[in-house]
Amino acid sequence: MSRHLFDTTLEGNPIRVFVGYDRPTDQFYLCIGWVDQAGNVFAYASDLKLAYDPKDVRSIRRFLTNLGVTVPESMWSEVAYDSMAKAGSRVVRHLSDGTTCELISG
């Protein structure tokens, strides 16, 4: 499973967004976590009613846009690449300036 993450805010609160591709199920996923002052995820945002189509990454993009979350473009191109290449086991951090840091590749 690939994981692409970036840090941003939602309604003034720091969050960490994970979007990825799961090779065995051929589906996408979204996870949003609330971040504490030390930079650790301390709770996941199940209260946001994460409604999206796991077969369509564009529905995740629409969901985040509707929340007012700005996502680096690199996130979408890299997740799309994972899906096309059937790549799993990648962990990539995306920064707001469009740069990326591949933490794990596989």
Amino acid found at 100 = T
Q: Are 23 and 56 in contact (CB under 8 A)?
A: no
pLDDT at 87 over 90: no
Q: Nearest Cα to 6, choosing from 74, 83, 106, 81?
A: 74
**What residues pair up with 94 in beta bridges, in sequence order?**
100
- What token pair was written down for 85? 């290449």
- Is 80 exceeded by the pLDDT of residue 7? yes
What is the 3 state secondary structure string of 60-80?
HHHHHHHHCCCCCHHHHHHHH
**Contact between residue 15 and residue 35 where contact means Cβ atoms under 8 Å apart:** yes
Please give the Cα distance from 85 to 87 (Å, whole number). 5
Q: Give residue for tokens 């690939």.
A: 2
Model confidence pLDDT, tens digit, residues 8-67: 999 899 999 999 999 999 999 999 999 999 989 888 876 667 788 999 999 999 999 999
Mean pLDDT value of segment 73-92: 92
